[in-house]
Amino acid sequence: MKEKVSDRVGSAFGGETYEQDVIVIGAGGAGLRAAIEARLQGLSVGLICKSLLGKAHTVMAEGGAAAALAYVDNRDSWKVHFRDTLRGGKFLNNYKMALLHAQEAPDRIKELEAWGALFDRTEDGRILQRNFGGHRFPRLAHVGDRTGLEIIRTLQDKAVHLGIDVYMECTITKLLKDGDKISGALGYWRTTGESVLFKAKAIVLATGGFGKAYRVTSNSWEYTGDGHALAYHAGADLIDMEFVQFHPTGMVWPLSVKGILVTEGVRGDGGILKNSKGERFMFRYIPDLYKAETSDTEEEANRWLAGDKSARRPPELLTRDVVAKAIVKEVKEGRGSPHSGVFLDIASRRSAEDIKRKLPGMYQQFKELAGIDITKEPMEVAPTCHYAMGGVRVDAETAAATVPGLFAAGECAGGMHGANRLGGNSLSDLLVFGRRAGLGAAEYAKKLSSQPTVDMGEVQQAQQQMSEPFERSRGETAYKIISDLQEMMETYVGIVREEKELSLAVEKIQQLKKRAQNVCATGDKAYNPGWNYALDLTSLLTVSEAIILAAKERKESRGALTRIDYPNTEEDWGKVNVVIRKKGTEMTVAKEPLSEMPEELKALLQETI
């Protein structure tokens, strides 16, 4: 149980101290699921939330959780889900993760139902599944367009009654080590600004992504790559950092809502994309890999919508990397909508009643924020930074990072999604690997003979660093530096990249790092966003540098990485991960081979279904 051990620590550290077997950093789906699992193993578990409990980014997930339950189409199975995931990831995925994910997702969804979740139903009373990009069959368990809320609330209520200690509005700034092993974490309470020390045998990172490195993003203020940066500085490997997912459909107008997510469920439920000429342009962008299973005429696509199982899927349901790039090209070639997007039309495809029932959130969002009635008019949409495929390199079975005692799950872990994530695979990912991380951390903690020792010198130094922004009388605010960073990332490291711009980005990031050394905060520490952002800035700069270096290293185009100077997908590059690692104070880049997939799994990938 939550044990305040401040008194036992002595005078070296002034703040509160808590001691637990397992600390989970991040309280979205992955963090909650990890905490639940570790607690079920009988350990004392602390769950640290950057915001209030239940507000993490998982609530923003709309469309659904992918699991081959085969309730709607009995041709589905884990094999097809595995194949779809690898094809979507352009074969760069950690195949062991993709395999476990495809095999275990159905059980994780059923488990949620046993914990009180209420998914939409089929006629025969089972869990209804919806179509989504890159998934061969209707596969996403969902609740209208608020699936993430259902999942986080279910996990939250489960966790609360298990006796997990929840630390809300607490940001971790440093992981502590005893030799090579994890020994704890240092952070601060947002409400008071006071530092707080957590001593732990094992730590699970579940901090999500880093969309805030970009200006136009569907991500919230929390998404500053904290877990990525904490792991990196603790000596863990990061992989696939060059792959940043831009969701094809974000809102574009009014400006103040630019980037807010429009669920892929709109297309899953029949929505189509049109350019300013009224053309259904996605027919022109079908990659060879998907030709055999994608409609090439509107007639066939319409039959699919009407429920004809022999018809192939419409091209709007190609993977996100393909659709995002197509939209960028349409706009660039002058066929965009008035606000540099394209039109997403559901009004002409489904009845107003259906739209309001299946997409109530989208209906409200457009009505209230943009003054658009989506049951009558098309939406204007364009790509928005959405998801980090790259993350902490982990062992598939246990979610263990390369630092003993450190585990990672959900968006902040890398490998599962390869070069491009399929929509719906993130909610299932966080359930499958959240559970595995909780289990892995618990098993590791149980085996540890004694509590690792926290180095109080390290603590004091980190504490000192936290206060520095207040000690500078002159300097820039974090708002300004973050805004410039976002603009730089968007300009030079956006959807389409090239060597010249990436080299410029390398220079620019060094300049920004220099400016960050002079970031200042005013006022006091209590609930001070200006100061909080100054600390988040450190993480943002670390992940941004990693994205730039990794993107520069990979000399090909694959999935979410488009290099106009290397437009082709190269076989040799399909065999390696780009690995980011800290050596001394330097960020280093290496190429390391993927593990070889067994023949029987390789055969699955070639199957045309």
Which spans of this chain sit near another protein (rule: CB under 8 A)?
51-57, 59-60, 110, 113-116, 118, 120-121, 124-126, 128, 143-144, 146, 149-150, 153, 157-158, 160-161, 166, 168, 191, 220-222, 253-257, 260-261, 361, 364-365, 368-370, 477-480, 483, 521-524, 526-531
Which is nearer to another protein, 13 or 387 (by Cβ)?
387
Closest separation in Å from C-beta 111 to another protein:
10
Nearest Cα to 195, choosing from 28, 9, 57, 52?
Answer: 9
Cα dist. 344→56, 250, 272, 348, 374 in Å?
28, 10, 6, 10, 9
Q: Chain centroid to CA 395: how far?
A: 18
Closest separation in Å from C-beta 60 to another protein:
5
> What single-letter DSSP state applies at residue 481?
H
Which is nearer to another protein, 180 or 368 (by Cβ)?
368
> Catalytic residue among 33, 136, 228, 267, which?
267
Closest separation in Å from C-beta 271 to another protein:
18
Nearest Cα to 228, choosing from 591, 587, 595, 590?
Answer: 587
**Ranges assigned E (strand) in 351-445:** 379-388, 391-393, 406-408, 413-414
The torsion of the CA quartet 212, 215, 221, 224, rounded to 10 degrees, works out to 10
Nearest Cα to 99, choosing from 373, 415, 533, 380?
Answer: 415
Nearest Cα to 185, choosing from 33, 58, 347, 23?
Answer: 23
* 550: its two tokens: 């990794």
Q: Is 57 marked active-site?
A: no
Closest separation in Å from C-beta 345 to another protein:
21
Distance CA(56)–CA(50), nearest Å, equals 8
Closest separation in Å from C-beta 23 to another protein:
19
What backbone torsions phi and psi does residue 484 show, to the nearest 5 degrees?
-70, -40
Q: Which residues pair with 250 in a beta bridge?
A: 261, 382
Half-sphere exposure of 514 (CA within 13 A, CB side): 6
Which is nearer to another protein, 521 or 548 (by Cβ)?
521
Which is nearer to another protein, 1 or 114 (by Cβ)?
114
> Catalytic residue among 33, 57, 139, 247, which?
247
Closest separation in Å from C-beta 12 to another protein:
29
> What single-letter DSSP state applies at residue 536?
H
Cis amide linkage into residue 254, ω under 30° from 0:
yes
Closest separation in Å from C-beta 358 to another protein:
12
Cα dist. 453→307, 355, 457 in Å?
61, 57, 12
Q: Is 267 marked active-site?
A: yes
Closest separation in Å from C-beta 217 to another protein:
10
Which is nearer to another protein, 172 or 401 (by Cβ)?
172
Which is nearer to another protein, 524 or 570 (by Cβ)?
524
Distance CA(144)–CA(357), nearest Å, equals 7
Query: Are the C-beta atoms of residues 421 and 253 closer than 8 Å to each other?
Result: no
Cβ atoms < 10 Å from Cβ of 467: 14
Closest separation in Å from C-beta 80 to another protein:
21
Which is nearer to another protein, 158 or 417 (by Cβ)?
158
C-alpha gyration radius of the chain: 23
Cβ atoms < 10 Å from Cβ of 515: 17
The torsion of the CA quartet 312, 313, 319, 324, rounded to 10 degrees, works out to 120
Which is nearer to another protein, 153 or 349 (by Cβ)?
153
Closest separation in Å from C-beta 260 to another protein:
5
| DSSP character string of 394-415 | --TTT-B-SSTTEEE-GGGEES
Strand order in the sheet with 65-66: 65-66, 140-141, 129-130
Which is nearer to another protein, 261 or 322 (by Cβ)?
261
Strands 165-167 and 45-48: parallel
Degrees (nearest 5) of the Cα angle 599, 601, 604? 115
Which is nearer to another protein, 5 or 526 (by Cβ)?
526
- For the annotated catalytic residues, the residue numbers are 247, 267
